Homo-oligomer: A and B are copies of this chain.
Amino acid sequence: MENKETFIKKLRSSGLRPTRQRIEICRALYDRKKTFHFTINDLAKILKSKSNEKISLATIYNTVCAFKNINYLKEISINSNKSYFDTNVSNHHHFFNESTDELIDLKNDDVGNIKLKKKIPGKKIKSVEILVKIKDNN
**Least Cβ distance of A53 to chain B in Å?**
30
Tell me if A8 counts as interface (CB < 8 A to partner B): no
Tier of interface size on chain A:
35 or more
Tell me if A136 counts as interface (CB < 8 A to partner B): yes
Cα distance, A80 to B75, chains bound together (Å)? 11
Given A79-B84, A111-B115, A112-B114, CB of A129 within 8 Å of CB of B127: no
Partner-binding segment picked from A25-33, A42-50, A102-110: A102-110
Tell me if A54 counts as interface (CB < 8 A to partner B): no
- Beyond contacts A125-B133, A129-B133: 13 other A-B pairs, Cβ-Cβ < 8 A, are A75-B79, A79-B80, A79-B83, A97-B123, A109-B117, A112-B115, A112-B117, A123-B134, A123-B135, A124-B135, A128-B130, A128-B133, A129-B131
